[in-house]
Structure 1
């Protein structure tokens, strides 16, 4: 059995992407410091600086792979949403982007809960399998 990891919230996914972008940028700047600044100003030996940069590069690669995976997921969600029209789009947007309950969506759109539930059950959003994360990130 394959474990499916679906995004919990589009907003959370966007927030995670921003955090990962900041993390990668910070790690790259730290690696640059250790190589240019730390070694260049003779604060540490070249061996120590190289070892530290190698460790940072491994972290950068790991975070970059996770960032790439989340960006692909966001692009896939955006693509799925852009293909939807009418009520299906409204329900998907309110459910996955704004994280509203089906009951709230039904009230806002002035449809019965059962009708919104049926529409929602037909919506197929992208997912990433657990094995894909293990193979591509860690």
Structure 2
């Protein structure tokens, strides 16, 4: 189930980029507030740092957008899986559904889904940070 690991890794990367963007935006806001109270020499360094922050946020946002696009494509492709094993693993490990819910959604008994689930190794589930 390497595919699901790749999916989870991509999701984690997107979340980490989002955290970095938020951190940079907070730093930018703090510098903006401080720039009016500092002497000119410090103000110039602060303005340079603020410009660098803006550039980094712009780059990270672009990377995040591309990774999100890739994640959306993975979602579509995973939904196309025909194998019950992939479907159960995806619904269990990525969507976080219970085996009962998976059985109801796929139209199989809990016992059958449980047997399938036991045959499929688990991948770590990434929790949303947002």
Output the TM-score relative to the length of structure 1.
0.54
Uncovered stretches (5+) of structure 1, i.e. residues with no partner: 1-5, 98-104, 110-138
1:17-96 aligned at under 5 Å gives the runs 17-34=14-31, 36-42=32-38, 45-87=42-84, 89-90=86-87, 93=90
Does structure 1 residue 16 correspond to structure 2 residue 13? Answer: yes
CA distance in 2, matches of 1:50, 1:12: 35
SS in 2 for 1:47: helix
Uncovered stretches (5+) of structure 2, i.e. residues with no partner: 95-115, 121-130
CA distance in 1, matches of 2:20, 2:45: 22
Query: 1:14-51, CA deviations, whole angstroms, 9 ceiling, x for partnerless residues?
Result: 111110000011011111111x2220332664322221
Output the TM-score relative to the length of structure 2.
0.57
The alignment of Structure 1 onto Structure 2 pairs a total of residues equal to 94
Conserved 8 A contact 1:7-1:13: no
In structure 2, relative to structure 1, the CA distance for the partners of 1:92 and 1:77 (3 Å cut) is farther
Conserved 8 A contact 2:14-2:64: yes
CA RMSD of aligned residues (A): 3.1
Question: Which runs of structure 1 show a deviation greater than 4 angstroms over 4 or more consecutive aligned residues?
Answer: none
Conserved 8 A contact 2:14-2:67: yes
Which stretch of structure 1 is more off in the superposition, 47-56 or 78-87? 78-87
CA distance in 2, matches of 1:19, 1:64: 12
